[in-house]
Structure 1
């Protein structure tokens, strides 16, 4: 649930992927990939 919250914040531009807590990054990345928004993930 928290991963979805942070993914939504990345999508709307309120937060950058790099600022997400490390423990949530895999889940957020999966959500962004599923929505075709891989470009929002900074490696």
Structure 2
């Protein structure tokens, strides 16, 4: 599910604030691993 949210953030459909708290940190890690740390803030 974290990958789905990361993809939605990359496409501009969601922001990190809209990610459920339980998986927000996982989504941040995915975005950083994809060299997109600016989207993880």
| TM-score using structure 1 length | 0.89
User: CA-atom RMSD, angstroms?
Assistant: 0.6
Aligned residues: 41
| TM-score using structure 2 length | 0.93
More helix by share: 2
> Following the alignment from structure 1 to structure 2, what is the Cα–Cα distance between the partners of residues 27 and 3?
6
Which 4+ stretches in 1 moved above 3 angstroms? none
Structure 2 gap segments, 5+ residues each: none
